[in-house]
Amino acid sequence: MVWQCDVYVIVMLADTTSSNNGGHQTPLLNTKSVNALRSHVSHSSMNGYSGFTYWPQQDAATLEFGEYKITRQVSKLSAGRQSITKLDVMHLPTSQQRSIWHLQYSDWADHGCPRDVASFLSFLEEMDMVRRHAVSDVPVGKNRNTPVLVHCGAGVGRTGVTVACDVLLTSLDHNVVVDVPKLITHLRQQRMLMVQTVAQYRSIYALLLAYLGRSRLI
């Protein structure tokens, strides 16, 4: 999907460690078969993992998945539990390559809310900057309004909050009317359960207030 849909930015809202397993890191995936990949995901879920490591963990290291080879170019840790990694993805049959930015925000438990609103707001702003920068990697003549792939564990709670906040912040920046209930309804029409809990719903308002307060708009 990443290759076929021209994704240049991936946002991961999950940790690759398990609180139920002493905080150990999820093993690297090194399988080339779909069946083995499915088995790993199932095993990780049963052991309480929020995510699995599908990209190399050292610079210049590579992983292969079927027709694709992933090479880690560079990675840096930001404030808190945030990281940005630049990956090179090659489609082996055609030797075509693409740079993909991988952003990870792990200070957020499943079914919970961001522990630090200011930190999460900073992450969203960094995500926007990376997205703007990634446009320069799009070949001439291609659609430059490329999608951002956002995922967590189930792809509804943390993912829903992040997508909603990104849309709302963009709306504020462009003087578009902000309607949180309407937006959540729209998101749920496309994917059920987006924004899972009342606490997550309230966290969206908390982030908007923090953004407006910092911008001195209130």
Active site residues: 152
CA separation for the pair 119, 69 (Å, rounded): 33
The residues that bridge with 149 in the sheet, in sequence order, are 10
* CA distances, 8 to each of 144, 147, 156 (Å): 10, 8, 21
* Number of helices followed by number of strands (H, E) in the chain: 5, 6
Task: Of 178, 186, 187, 185, give the one whose Cα is nearest residue 205.
Answer: 178
